[in-house]
Amino acid sequence: MTSAIPLAITLAYVVIALVIGLRARGGRSMQALEEWGVAGRSMNAVVLYLLIGAGSISAYTFMGAPGWAYSKGVPVFYVVIYLSYLAIVAWYFGPKVWEFGARFGHVTQASAIADRYESAALGALAAFVMSIGTLAYAVLQTIGSAYILNVMSGGKIPVWAGVTLVLGVMAIYLYVSGQRAIGLTNAFQGALMLMVAWAIGLWATHAFTGQWWFGDIFTRFKAERPEFLTLPGAGGDMSFAFWTTSIIVSMLSFMPPVWTQWMSARSKQTIRTSATWLPTYYVVILPMVVVGFIGVFSLPNLARADTVALEMALASMPVVLTGLLGAGTLAAAMSSCEPFIHSAALTYAKDILQPAFKLSNAATGRLARMLLIPIMALIVAPVAITEPANLIMILLIGLGFAAQVLPAFIGMFFWPRASKVGVTAGIVAGFALTVLFTVVFKNPLGIHAGFWGLMLNLPVFVAVSLKTRPASADVTARFFAIARRF
Amino acid sequence: MKQGIVLPTTRRGWVLFVLFIALIAAGCWPLIALVNHARVVFGLPLITVWAYAIVLASVVLMVIANRLLGAGEREDSHD
């Protein structure tokens, strides 16, 4: 690539994100953990809509969704379905989580777990193990960011420099403005992604068919490659069982940053309003998927399926569109990365270090902000630069574990009799089976490993809970005064 | 403190609960098998149309639920 315009557009996006992130503070003090961690519970419905929407559309979705369409076809649409179900999860649980936070002072998911089960140790355990998946996810997004900068610069920005640039920019505005920076930058990134995805998708469709809608593309698939239009897809690996269990496991993975987003809302009604309209955001996926389908005919010999959109841009799109694709993909990566790093810093400080060293709230607030730097410099950056081959495996195990924390939430929202020993036993049993079925016997019978983990986890959780002492009556009473409302 | 499982306590709550379960079932097997055909509808694969119908149904159902809950909360406040 010879033009400097795509790189200039991509870097312009980085500068704009930095300015928005810095201005998000708006003169407020970030000393209090509630201000830096959950934006003083102040976000309105529009910001929350774009925050959750953009946060769930990662670089993997922006690059991986076209890649899945290119290699498998319609199986990619399970993502649209589970994201819609996640909106329903947000609609039901979000207002309750918000009320827990506002009434009981929680700013993290693990602090709610510690409070419900009267166990700082269980909270610390949940915080630590959830952070494995959280940080693996952040590393993947950082790798995606560095890759985009490398491609847009024609190789002039090496991976280490791209990682440093992206993390450095995020570190500055996260330190200064905390969750407020995440809210406003994600709002900008979410709007940018929506615009870029449709511009790219419609341009590619028009260039390929002369039409502005996708009908001719799929009519050709029906005639020449019908296996792309049905399950199990062209790869033959998305069975009904794997489709269904992937949706269920993804829907039940309550990741900590999502919890933090709910607690950042201005009110319970704000969460309901944004969750109600949230599924509409996922029209962002359709045009990018169509780009992947077009690639099946126009770029039939790609070595890596997830580069199909970028390769198409570099081969045939106007330089401005190529730059917008770079900016949009970088926005997708950063909008997913920053909440995960912020969440890890917040939970390490609040749920592990504060109880361990009996820190004051003020000291914990300062510590959370400081922790951003070592987390980025000592964990995210080195791992991202080395680009480990088994990172996807780490992420899958991390997400598999996220689903295994389900008993903690069942005991918080549905079953007062749940005990901390039951929750711990369920998590340990479920996690062990998930690891076994991810690493050794991969997804037996075509069923997602995390789903197998839950099949063991839930009976163990119930049986052990019934045999052990539940939390005290006043704790269950105050939680279920909120949880029982429907 | 009751130790039983939390379930809807009103008729409205039960109706919403059943509708939400039905919506989740719509995206999973066996219902997804009913639309697993290499057909093009509105210029899109049938499964794609189904996926976005679920998107639309999710929004409609949450709008209905907001209205029902709003009505319920107003009734509660009059009690």
Tell me the per-residue pLDDT of A81-98, one tens digit each, with 9 for 90 and over.
999 999 999 999 999 999
HSE on the CB side for A30, CA within 13 Å? Answer: 23
Separation CA A10–CA A153 (nearest Å): 9
pLDDT over 70 for what percent of chain A? 97
Range ranked top by mean pLDDT from A190-194, A281-285, A400-404: A281-285
Q: With bands split at pLDDT 50, 70 and 90, how would you rate the model's confidence at B79?
A: very low
Task: Say if the Cβ atoms of A241 and B29 lie within 8 Å.
Answer: yes
Contacts of residue A4, Cβ cutoff 8 Å, sequence gap at least 6 = none
Residues 188-217 (A) with a CB less than 8 A from some CB of B:
213-215
Dump pLDDT digits (tens) for A260-280.
999 999 999 999 999 999 999
pLDDT over 70 for what percent of chain B? 85
pLDDT at B76: 46
Per-residue pLDDT for B74 more than 70? no
pLDDT mean across residues, chain A? 91
Q: With bands split at pLDDT 50, 70 and 90, how would you rate the model's confidence at B69?
A: confident
The one-letter code for the residue type at A102 is A
Answer for the pair A37, A31: CB distance below 8 angstroms, yes or no. no
Per-residue pLDDT for B78 more than 60? no
Task: Say if the Cβ atoms of A222 and B66 lie within 8 Å.
Answer: no
pLDDT at A445: 87
Q: Residue B64: its chain A contacts at CB < 8 A?
A: none
Task: Say if the Cβ atoms of A80 and B51 lie within 8 Å.
Answer: yes
Q: Which residue has the higher pLDDT, A321 or A58?
A: A321
pLDDT at A389: 60
Out of A92, A240, A413, the one facing B33 most closely (by C-beta) is A240
Q: Which residue has the higher pLDDT, A24 or A450?
A: A24
In a domain, B26, yes or no: no
Dump pLDDT digits (tens) for A8-46.
999 999 999 999 999 999 888 888 888 999 999 999 999
Q: In this structure, what token pair is assigned to residue A468?
A: 């052990």
Per-residue pLDDT for A454 more than 50? yes
Stated as kind and residue range, the H or E segment containing B58 is helix B46-78
Answer for the pair B59, A88: CB distance below 8 angstroms, yes or no. no
Out of A213, A275, A484, the one facing B43 most closely (by C-beta) is A213
ipTM field: 0.92
Separation CA A219–CA A212 (nearest Å): 14
**Lookup result for tokens 């899958």:** A396
Separation CA B57–CA B54 (nearest Å): 5
In a domain, B18, yes or no: no
Answer for the pair A175, A365: CB distance below 8 angstroms, yes or no. no
Contacts of residue A25, Cβ cutoff 8 Å, sequence gap at least 6 = A176, A177, A180, A181
In a domain, B24, yes or no: no
Comparing A387-396, A444-453, A475-484, B36-45, which segment has the lowest mean pLDDT? A387-396
Strand stretches in chain B, DSSP E: 40-41, 44-45
A245 alpha carbon, distance to own chain's centre: 19
Task: Say if the Cβ atoms of B27 and A87 lie within 8 Å.
Answer: no
Helix axis angle for A159-209 and A45-56, nearest 10°, is 90
- Closest CA relative to residue A320, chosen from A440, A203, A158: A203
Please indicate if any CB of chain B lies within 8 Å of the CB of A312.
Answer: no
Separation CA A112–CA A352 (nearest Å): 13
Comparing A32-41, A280-289, A396-405, which segment has the lowest mean pLDDT? A396-405
In a domain, B67, yes or no: yes
Separation CA B10–CA A345 (nearest Å): 42
Stated as kind and residue range, the H or E segment containing A59 is helix A59-59
Task: Say if the Cβ atoms of B62 and A276 lie within 8 Å.
Answer: yes
Out of B33, B45, B51, the one facing A229 most closely (by C-beta) is B45
Separation CA A139–CA A134 (nearest Å): 9
Q: With bands split at pLDDT 50, 70 and 90, how would you rate the model's confidence at A335?
A: confident
Buried/exposed code over A188-208 (b: 16+ C-beta within 10 A; e: otherwise): bbbebbbebbebbbbbbbeeb
| Interface mutation target, options B7, B49, B52, chain A, most CBs of A under 10 Å | B52
Answer for the pair A451, A245: CB distance below 8 angstroms, yes or no. yes
- Secondary structure, 3-state, A434-448: HHHHHHCCCCHHHCC
B79 min Cα distance to partner chain A (Å): 16
Average pLDDT for residues A226-255, to the nearest whole number? 90
Average pLDDT for residues A99-122, to the nearest whole number? 94
Looking at A358-419, list the stretches that DSSP marks H as alpha helix, in order from N- to C-terminal side.
Answer: 361-374, 381-386, 391-404, 406-413
CATH 1.20.1730.10 domain locations along chain A: 5-385
Separation CA A367–CA A349 (nearest Å): 6
Per-residue pLDDT for B77 more than 50? no
Architecture, CATH, for domain A5-385: Up-down Bundle (1.20)
Give the C-alpha distances (Å, rounded to integers) separating A391 from A14, A63, A82, A134, A271.
26, 17, 23, 12, 33
Separation CA A37–CA A30 (nearest Å): 9
Task: Say if the Cβ atoms of A480 and B5 lie within 8 Å.
Answer: no
Answer for the pair A144, A60: CB distance below 8 angstroms, yes or no. yes
Answer for the pair A101, A41: CB distance below 8 angstroms, yes or no. yes
Per-residue pLDDT for A295 more than 80? yes
Q: With bands split at pLDDT 50, 70 and 90, how would you rate the model's confidence at A347?
A: very high
Strand partners, A265: A43
Answer for the pair A58, A138: CB distance below 8 angstroms, yes or no. no
Q: With bands split at pLDDT 50, 70 and 90, how would you rate the model's confidence at A396?
A: low
Separation CA A47–CA A485 (nearest Å): 26
pLDDT at A1: 58
Please indicate if any CB of chain B lies within 8 Å of the CB of A458.
Answer: no
HSE on the CB side for A329, CA within 13 Å? Answer: 34
Determine the residue of chain A that is closest to B51 in CA distance: A81
Dump pLDDT digits (tens) for A200-219.
999 999 999 999 999 999 99
Please indicate if any CB of chain B lies within 8 Å of the CB of A42.
Answer: no
Contacts of residue A464, Cβ cutoff 8 Å, sequence gap at least 6 = A419, A421, A422, A425, A426
Q: Residue B76: its chain A contacts at CB < 8 A?
A: none
The one-letter code for the residue type at A481 is A
pLDDT at A382: 95
- Closest CA relative to residue A147, chosen from A135, A159, A161: A159
A213 min Cα distance to partner chain B (Å): 7
Strand partners, B41: B44
pLDDT at A93: 95
Domain of residue B61 covers: 35-79
Determine the residue of chain B that is closest to A240 in CA distance: B29
Determine the residue of chain B that is closest to A85 in CA distance: B24
Task: Say if the Cβ atoms of A470 and B37 lie within 8 Å.
Answer: no
In a domain, B44, yes or no: yes
Separation CA B63–CA B69 (nearest Å): 10
| Interface mutation target, options B14, B17, B31, B48, chain A, most CBs of A under 10 Å | B48
Separation CA A73–CA A127 (nearest Å): 37
Answer for the pair A473, B1: CB distance below 8 angstroms, yes or no. yes
Task: Say if the Cβ atoms of B6 and A483 lie within 8 Å.
Answer: yes
Q: Which residue has the higher pLDDT, A404 or A274?
A: A274
Q: Residue B13: its chain A contacts at CB < 8 A?
A: 486
Contacts of residue A329, Cβ cutoff 8 Å, sequence gap at least 6 = A59, A62, A63, A144, A148, A309, A310
In a domain, B8, yes or no: no
Task: Say if the Cβ atoms of A218 and B5 lie within 8 Å.
Answer: no
Per-residue pLDDT for B24 more than 70? yes
pLDDT at A485: 73
Per-residue pLDDT for A246 more than 90? no
Average pLDDT for residues A454-471, to the nearest whole number? 95
Answer for the pair A183, A27: CB distance below 8 angstroms, yes or no. no
Answer for the pair A374, A175: CB distance below 8 angstroms, yes or no. no
B8 min Cα distance to partner chain A (Å): 6
Task: Kindly report whether the peptide bond that precedes residue A459 is cis, defined as omega within 30 degrees of 0.
Answer: no
Per-residue pLDDT for B15 more than 70? yes
Average pLDDT for residues B60-71, to the nearest whole number? 89
